[in-house]
Structure 1
């Protein structure tokens, strides 16, 4: 803290902070992130503090810079400020429902927004980032008039859920109250005077980031992404604006890639593509060791922004990045997603950054085979796989692995043909889209398929997944299959087949003798082969799955 100057520290009631100051959340800050459990914890704490007549309840610290143009920028604390603002807005709305116009105007003007007497424009006490601000301002103005269909982001849903949760909570509080208006005023008074928050104001971002990190070192629980972002900004010095812009660009790509939060996952996979296995709890300390000065901080911000395009393509496999490769590469990337192999992404990042186009194509082929083998054989936990993939990624990035063949040599526990064949003979598949993928790949190995057939989940309107032994047994099926025995075979891969949708709807729970007629007409060779059997028994399924196991070794080769 010795380098931090002109720091102002002020203890005040949180609503009074909103009453006397104006705040702005900068664009580079993450969007609203509190889940219902966080909101509930805050509400319960306030309720208990009021109920037990505690003179003060400490809410923690917020770190801000400025003011600039009358507004403080929030470095840390937006989640609490936003949630308290929604709480005040919900109380205001209850008074509005009671037609108490004077109280509504007073609460709104004191804590939420006032109107500039010259320009007549509304001046919010708290402005969120550009992703969330429109919805937030509508919620605190009049939550009942919000067109929720306009707001589809996850942070939007969290804001809406937070307001609804607060509203429901207050209704519960009021049902237990003898005087509703007095209770609401008591809450507002407590928020203004008794619910304390420390405002730590620094003159600029550089000083604020030092404070932010110091608070974390002293036990304040902060998001890993926030810690890393603020550390990079602090180290960027006079290149701060460049670092901010690159971070903001990275976040924009991640938010456009998925509605699910991806920032921490991406940061961790990026780190593992370069440094080997990094546990989430160690992510900040690992990268902190790598960033010691302005140059390395700006380089990291640049690398994160450049690599995020690759990561986006791994998540969304219709990304334009794949246009430079043959079509099978994006299909294999989609397969790895289908297999839920997110652990492999650090290695894929390294390969896409370090290998040429043909080597990328061959590497993805081999990695798809390896992933299938690991899943079918089992016995290798997710943590072990993650270490295998991340260590190999580091070797690729550092230049120790230069060819696709070297990749598999690094997988010392990769199942052999014999182990894979044996495990495949008893494989059961519960997920329909995964079963379709396995059957299509086996079909390709049997008869030679087009590139399109390598896509894991094509249009089900043409080809459906057929259970030869139905999931719901008719009386005729029950005459030859006991229910307990059937459960052990219904999801065996050999009991599944790809069939034309129309034929599939016709066969339904028909006897095997009738189903065979549809199978015999199928243009899918693997399905057509079922018609060679005269009955459908456990022995038949075992026989067919052994045949499939032989094909599997050809379908997912490791040579």
Structure 2
């Protein structure tokens, strides 16, 4: 069916009044009400200034408040996807005004006050169609934000008109401030009060965008919203899982979700990203090797969110997160020796410099599948080296995502079958790589330098390091008399002219020539850079770059060849007396026949 979107600008009175037949709902996956008193003040003062300038009822001008994106859910409610902050604030403002108007004794009320009391009531509460009697408990706005105490606070304020003087939540603070602002302006300019209420109800305009489905509404929201954090798929997933749980399980789920969120944030990840990684794990289990990557929400929504309701889902997300605690933060995991293995951590660090994220999915899947195996640490190290070797060689020669995407998806599916999965990547003759290593694509330089550096040291590179050009990028044109500027410019970007260098030392070294920078190299804690500083080399020129090009490319090819050959020839752990399984031996023979080892 075609997508249906209804757009029709409406006054505050008309839009909020539509809640009589279709109440407004702030759904579970929304974030809590977050407007500050500063934003509340801006809204009030802008509307007051608009009233003063427009002349109130005398002119039919309008003040645009923004859009509201919603859709009608299965309960006949207007589920707000975008605009909950604005709508909630308008309800609070109207309630503050209503409280002030009805506080005046009936005998002292003006005709205007009685008129606007009658106008405001059907924008906040359901009223009897025949008598006009207000049902103060039947509020037209209901917040269902998961695990949010503010839901009850908002309901109480709108029902009673009272807010706790000591409460620190945004609902209470903003409601009290609306009352203060209205009192202040009423005393300073009493003649304009009713003009202001009229302008708020009739001249303040909203643009409701009503979609036919939640997906359509979320798409519109993502397209329109550039003012802050967008709703993530994870927000939707949290609400979906929460709603299908038994009541006694909901509290435990929320506490666990909060813990996952906090730990993910601390590890520089997000729950949204964890769901994305898990999608590739589930796809591997289903042998899904399609190169088209589905949207996360669409993927989990299939079969009525069947995958989302798997009982082990949250456990798996925590497991995936543990991997990224090591990769992103260098944490050591209790009971997981691999996380202390310096060579594994070096390889993972090198993989983080791969130019796209396709390396992550097989690493996640391998870890989730085999982390509890006896020989995991050894096999994981060999698997990571093999993966890096395959990715690096392919990207050096064809620097695009498509160079490895199909092969990665095949590898994902192979991993869940065997702890020694087949890498069905195109075989590359290693000597062909040498020119690509010597004059590499700029996206591969950091990966190459890490590979080279970690061959000569056990420690990780410092967090802040830069690519150092041994011969500076800015040189005096008379420095070389026999070389053209174009030749020098090209050679400067070769791998033979580059080193990893601590950022602070690089700043000190500046754009000086080799003799001046050499003493800074000697203070570096990066092995290959320090070696350059303590070497007998006294000058650096184009010839030096070309010679080092050959040395570096030879060494990198040697490393890659070693990783490739070691992958299946796993040494026996004498303490555990583990021998290769029959499956391993058969796979070794298969790989030999195909020329992969």
TM-score interval (norm. to shorter): 0.5 to 0.7
Larger radius of gyration: 2
How far is 1:327 from its partner? 3.7
2:55 paired residue number: none
Q: CA deviation at 1:545?
A: 1.4
Matched, 1:137 2:149: no
Q: Does 1:442 align with 2:452?
A: yes
* 2:514 paired residue number: 512
Query: What is the correspondence of 1:176-255 to structure 2 with a 5 Å cutoff?
Result: 185-189=198-202, 215-216=213-214, 221=219, 224-225=233-234, 236=244, 239=246, 242=249, 246=253, 249-250=256-257, 252-254=259-261
Given the alignment of the two structures, is residue 270 of structure 1 paired with residue 278 of structure 2, yes or no?
Answer: yes
Q: Extract unaligned runs of 5+ from structure 2.
A: 1-12, 35-42, 44-49, 51-59, 97-111, 126-140, 151-167, 179-191, 221-231, 566-597
In the alignment, which of 320, 325, 328 is matched to residue 316 of structure 1? 328
- 2:419 aligns with 402
Aligned residue among 81, 86, 94 for 2:84: 81
Q: Which moved more, 1:262-271 or 1:513-522?
A: 513-522
Distance 2:407 2:477 in 1: 50
The C-alpha deviation readout for 1:81-100, integer Å capped at 9, x for no partner, is 2343357779999xxxxxxx
Trace 1:80-479 onto structure 2 (pairs within 5 A). Answer: 80-86=83-89, 126=143, 128-129=145-146, 136-137=170-171, 140-141=174-175, 185-189=198-202, 215-216=213-214, 221=219, 224-225=233-234, 236=244, 239=246, 242=249, 246=253, 249-250=256-257, 252-254=259-261, 256-258=263-265, 262-275=270-283, 276-277=288-289, 279=292, 281=294, 283-284=296-297, 286-289=299-302, 298=309, 300-311=310-321, 313-314=323-324, 316-321=328-333, 323-325=336-338, 326-355=341-370, 356=373, 357=376, 358-379=378-399, 381-383=400-402, 385-397=404-416, 399=417, 401-403=418-420, 406-408=421-423, 410=424, 412-413=425-426, 415-427=428-440, 429=442, 435=446, 438-445=448-455, 448-450=456-458, 452=459, 455-458=460-463, 466-473=468-475, 477=479
Q: CA RMSD in A?
A: 5.6
Residues of 2 paired with 1:365 and 1:143: CA distance?
A: 61
SS in 2 for 1:258: helix
The structure whose residues are more often helix, as a share, is 1
Q: Residue in 2 aligned with 1:98?
A: none
Contact 1:14 1:191 in 2 (8 A): no
Distance in 2 of aligned mates of 1:418 and 1:348: 28
CA distance in 1, matches of 2:504, 2:366: 43
Instruction: Classify 1:553/1:287 alpha carbon distance in 2 versus 1 (closer, same or farther; 3 Å).
Output: same
Shift of 1:426: 0.6
Q: 1:324 to 1:137 in 2, by over 3 A?
A: farther
Following the alignment from structure 1 to structure 2, what is the Cα–Cα distance between the partners of residues 386 and 402? 21
Unpaired segments of 5 or more residues in structure 1?
1-11, 35-42, 67-71, 94-101, 114-123, 145-178, 199-211
**CA–CA distance in 1 between the matches of 2:272 and 2:524?**
48
1:555 matched to 2:568: no
Corresponding position of 1:540? 544
| 1:352 Cα offset (Å) | 1.0
When normalised by structure 2's length, the TM-score is 0.55
Partner SS for 2:499: strand
Match of 2:16 in 1: 15
- Aligned pair in 2 of structure 1 residues 268, 510: CA closer, same or farther (>3 Å)? closer
Aligned to 2:426, the other structure's residue is in SS state coil
Query: How far apart, in 2, do the equivalents of 1:191 and 1:257 lie?
Result: 41
The residue matched to 2:282 in structure 1 has which SS? Answer: helix
Instruction: Provide closer, same or farther for how the CA distance between residues 366 and 141 of structure 1 changes in structure 2, counting only shifts above 3 A.
Output: farther
CA distance in 1, matches of 2:147, 2:246: 23
Which digits, 9 at most, give the CA deviation of each residue in 1:311-355, with x for residues without a partner? 453263434547431343344333323335422332122211222
Indicate conservation of the 8 Å contact 1:254/1:308, yes or no: no
CA shift in 2, pair 1:465/1:14, >3 Å: same
Looking at structure 2, the residues matched to 419 and 181 of structure 1 have their Cα atoms a distance apart, in angstroms, of 82
1:518 Cα deviation from its structure 2 partner: 6.2
